[in-house]
A and B are shown apart, each in its own frame.
Chain A
């Protein structure tokens, strides 16, 4: 009898544990990174590049299985199959009981998309993989340009470094979270798109022009865009809902604060709160408020506290011994409650760096994250700033407010969108009716 190779497996990392339980038709927990090149994509070379690149990321070649108490990941020898983009942006990836990979590589015209189920990795981890795929593809596709010298990708982490669970590494039992009262945040209320579709509208602008506008208010690009977004949301508030604050949660890459090269999840959250009932609501005032909150929360100590409160769930003995179906129910309810204290999320991936030699070949990068609500996603490559707003609402009023405010600052914006938005104006849904739908 032939001896079988031992299948290795791993637990879900701390942040990943919540994702499979909270997958919903309207929020698939999938995010997409895309890279647009100047020329049309060659599918065969992309397939070759994808296979080569994923070999160096063993933590992506996993399938998810159900245990009695937790989900877990098991190594597999499946190879990614590159296909032409044919499903909606951030369409569901994980299907119960199907032995399939938890990411998807597709292309459309000149764009390469990598869609990842959040259980595998966070933005930073997935971006490492996309960069490697693009790097491989460009080297195969334009081999003649790099005959003398191969460009180098800034990424040299070992397999075990990429596979490390940094949450458990930095878990400190002694840090306790101060009890905070939950505030009900302002939530958008509007008709949802049919068939749980996600509208993805992205705007491209020059990084320099947005920075110049931010400098007029003596602030940074991130703070400026956050403030604009809060303002854009506030324009949709009714007089009643002005009593509730706008709360924006922002995932933070913990690798900047706690040394780690992991390609799995390793992020924390900070939240920015602005009350239109208590403050004057001018852009200047929002900027100063956001600025203060960023300064206050973006410290190692503050982030450690948040990180530990997340890990505490996993270390809670009652949660641990609950069988998986029960755990799924509890985590889903917990999420429905916690979502009430959040207006929206801003996910800023920051500057994406590729080797200098690729400058004339790559046009832009994009990022989209699935949401049951509305979410702003930002990334930049060289001078191209991408601001992608994903939303499960049919109305595009927040998107319109946001981008119109940018153009009113004399910033040139180019919009691109998938076909999931209402072609006709949408009617507002009354508050009671939609909250009943939400409670379900």
Chain B
């Protein structure tokens, strides 16, 4: 046991100085009762910081090159738009990297909204609502379903995402009714699939779906 004369206390463990007054200790050290903790070199937000750094550097280089070549800022604006979109989708992917279904759901919402924005500012050719929105919804719902089955998830784990995916699958139909859609077959397939999904959820998993609603919405 070590002793601190100034505090008149015994000190357990193996210390260089008195934990209370940082004074000198006498006596013989004993094995430590608390483990030495080693801090990990990278914090949990390291990846986000890294991709943010890459994005900012890329944007700076683009603008710089553009300015050197043409003397003003032209094509680099589009590049920056692309960089922002890439940064957004990657950071969402990193943030939810441990929760694959949540990840898919957020990416679905993000990617479809971003493509509508792109479409809008590049002369509204309608590709976002014609193809991206219905196709992304179909892919998301099917992959959620397959992942849930492969990973043998319990219904409570994937139910919410199927429900969200199912509802999201009716967005293309709304666009169609609003007259925004030119090429209709992806929308039709997506709507059929969503109807089937909602029917299956309601008929085969009615109780679980209701329970999930109750849990998530309890006041």
Query: What is the interface of chain A, defined by CB distance below 8 A to chain B?
Result: 1, 4, 6-7, 9, 11, 36, 65, 67-70, 72, 74, 84-89, 97-99, 108-109, 111, 195, 200-201, 203, 320-321, 396, 399-400, 403-404, 407-408, 412-425
Q: Which 8 A-B pairs have the closest CB atoms?
A: A400-B20, A417-B19, A418-B34, A414-B10, A416-B12, A407-B8, A97-B99, A67-B216
Interchain CB contact under 8 A, A415 and B11: yes
B180 beta carbon closer than 8 Å to chain A: no
- Chain A nearest CB from B144 CB (Å) reads 16
How many A-B residue contacts, CB cutoff 8 Å?
116
Chain A residues within 8 Å of B22, by CB? 396, 422-425
List CB contacts (< 8 Å) of B203-219 with chain A. 204, 207-208, 211, 215-219
B33 beta carbon closer than 8 Å to chain A: yes
Interchain CB contact under 8 A, A11 and B211: no
Interchain CB contact under 8 A, A400 and B7: yes
Complex CA gap A74/B212 in Å reads: 11
**Interchain CB contact (< 8 A) of B9 among A1, A7, A99, A407:** A407
Interchain CB contact under 8 A, B13 and A416: yes
Chain B residues within 8 Å of A4, by CB? 154-155, 208
- Chain A nearest CB from B46 CB (Å) reads 14
Interchain CB contact under 8 A, B218 and A74: no
Complex CA gap A70/B156 in Å reads: 17
**Interchain CB contact (< 8 A) of A69 among B1, B15, B154, B218:** B218
Interchain CB contact under 8 A, A108 and B12: no
Chain A residues within 8 Å of B102, by CB? 97
Interchain CB contact under 8 A, A1 and B8: no
**Interchain CB contact (< 8 A) of A11 among B9, B21, B99, B218:** B218
**Interface bits B1-32 vs A (CB < 8 Å: 1, else 0):** 10010011111110111111110000000010
Chain A residues within 8 Å of B34, by CB? 85, 89, 108, 200, 416-419
Q: A7-B154, A415-B9 are in contact. Are A88 and B37 (CB under 8 A)?
A: yes
Chain A residues within 8 Å of B156, by CB? 7, 74
Interchain CB contact under 8 A, A396 and B20: yes
- Tell me the interface secondary structure of chain B in the complex: loop
Q: A86-B37, A400-B21 are in contact. Are A413 and B10 (CB under 8 A)?
A: yes
Q: A89-B34, A415-B18 are in contact. List 17 more A-B contacts (CB 8 A).
A: A1-B204, A6-B211, A9-B215, A85-B34, A85-B35, A88-B37, A108-B35, A321-B219, A400-B21, A403-B7, A407-B7, A408-B8, A414-B10, A415-B19, A417-B19, A419-B34, A419-B37
Complex CA gap A424/B22 in Å reads: 7
Chain A residues within 8 Å of B185, by CB? none
Chain B residues within 8 Å of A421, by CB? 19
Chain A residues within 8 Å of B207, by CB? 6
Chain B residues within 8 Å of A416, by CB? 11-13, 33-34
- Chain A nearest CB from B104 CB (Å) reads 13
Interchain CB contact under 8 A, B11 and A423: no
B36 beta carbon closer than 8 Å to chain A: yes
List CB contacts (< 8 Å) of B135-173 with chain A. 154-157
List CB contacts (< 8 Å) of B181-217 with chain A. 204, 207-208, 211, 215-217
Q: A414-B1, A417-B19 are in contact. Are A87 and B37 (CB under 8 A)?
A: yes
Chain B residue nearest to A77 (CB atoms) is B154
Q: A415-B19, A416-B12, A416-B33 are in contact. Are A404 and B7 (CB under 8 A)?
A: yes
Chain A residue nearest to B16 (CB atoms) is A423
- Chain B nearest CB from A61 CB (Å) reads 14
Q: Could you show 6 A-B contacts with beta carbons less than 8 Å apart? A: A69-B219, A97-B102, A400-B21, A416-B33, A416-B34, A424-B22
